[in-house]
Each structure stands twice: as C-alpha cells, then as structure tokens.
A and B are shown apart, each in its own frame.
Chain A
C-alpha cells in the first residue's frame, strides 16, 4: 500500500485479555516505531526496529508489552493481561532510515473495559 497500515482500527478488550496490534509499514522502510498516545497528549515512544532488530525498547511501560518484527517488515505489538491504563491509541510509524521523514499509520484505539 501507499502508506502505513494498522489493524484493527478499534479494539475493545476485557481487563486481563491479551491483544495483538498489527502494523504494515511502507515497503522498503528500514525503521519502524511504535508510539502510545493518550487522549489529549502527544505520542510517546514505545519501541524502535531497524529491519528485524529491536534496537530500542526503552519506552515499553512494562514487561506485559512485547513487540516483534521477525522478517523486517510487518510488526506486531502485543499487550498481555491488559489493564485499564493501557487504553490509548497505539501508533506505528516507518521511515526509510533513522532521522528521516517518518510516516504514521491511522493508529489502533484500544479500550480496556
């Protein structure tokens, strides 16, 4: 596709449920980022991949959060045992390489009830 694609667009999870959020970056983009955006706030960094290597996961809030990009293209952000404070929009972005124009997807709005 022409842009970054994320699925699902909306996800409602019961507290304690595991969820998986998918990101399809722009073809050929080496760098892939995950961000978390709370209502009324700017995006906050979660993790960064360069191809299949996860080079920075300093923003992941707890060990319940896990991300992977096994073939250097599609990435999945997994949240285990979801809690209400996990409710947010999860954004994925990709760029040709680090410190170049980063394009964002539409995001996945996660609501934990």
Chain B
C-alpha cells in the first residue's frame, strides 16, 4: 500500500509486505532531504538522507526516491516488520545552505502482525 501527502495519513501494512510512504515537498530550492522515524515518546530517528544531485539512495531495507520535477519524495521499506510501526516524517532544508529543516506533518505506519 502507499500513502500520499503530508496530512498525517495512516498506512497499514501486513508484516512482510513492502511499504511506500510519500511526501510532497514545498520548496523547489531544497537540496537536502531526510526521512525520520518517530516512535511514541521518542525523538525523531534518522533513517536515510538524499541530496538533490541524486534520484535514489538505498540503505538497509530502505530506499529513498527523489523526483525533483514534481517535488516528490518517497520512502520504501522492504519486508516491513512490527518494529517499523511509527510516524515517518520527511524533512527538507528549504534552500541551499539553510540553517534548518522543514518537517511535514508525518505519516503513521502501522504494521499488522
């Protein structure tokens, strides 16, 4: 399954399935993007980042895709596990050299055992 947008949608997937979380970022000048995972009561945890000179970057069980033409970012999680249940945020830096990250509202991922 997949989810679109930054309006705190909820995505439910079966354990073992692949998850796709989408994000529409706002600033065409953004050149650095990060995906964070946040579990209840904890701070955001870095998952993976990507710079604007790349279209794809892979980590352990995660892949981030960047489409600058339509200002779209996605996070793919392979073989989703119960421990992946959390809220996922994409963040953009807003402009080259910006001093902060702009976060979306997040997507809540629930993994069904």
**A residues engaging B (CB < 8 A)?**
4, 6, 33, 35, 40-45, 48, 55-56, 59, 91, 93, 98-99, 101-107
Contact present for A48 and B43 (CB under 8 Å): no
Quick one: closest B residue to A9, CB to CB? Answer: B41
**Partner pick for A106 among B31, B42, B49, B91, CB 8 A cutoff:** B42
Can you list 21 residue pairs at the A/B interface with Cβ under 8 Å?
A33-B100, A41-B105, A42-B89, A42-B91, A42-B104, A43-B89, A44-B103, A48-B100, A55-B99, A56-B100, A59-B100, A91-B44, A93-B43, A93-B44, A101-B46, A102-B46, A104-B36, A104-B43, A104-B45, A105-B43, A106-B43
Quick one: closest A residue to B93, CB to CB? Answer: A99
Which chain B positions have C-beta within 8 A of A101? 34, 46, 49
- C-alpha gap A106/B45 in the complex (Å): 10
Contact present for A43 and B103 (CB under 8 Å): yes
Which chain A positions have C-beta within 8 A of B99? 48, 55-56, 98
Which chain B positions have C-beta within 8 A of A33? 100-101
Interface residues on B, range: 20 to 34
A108 to chain B, nearest CB (A): 10
Which chain A positions have C-beta within 8 A of B102? 45
Contact present for B8 and A102 (CB under 8 Å): no
**Could you mark each residue 4-42 of chain B with 1 if its beta carbon is under 8 Å from any beta carbon of chain A, else 0?**
000010000000000000000000000110101000011
- C-alpha gap A33/B91 in the complex (Å): 14
Given A98-B97, A99-B32, A43-B44 contact (CB < 8 Å): yes
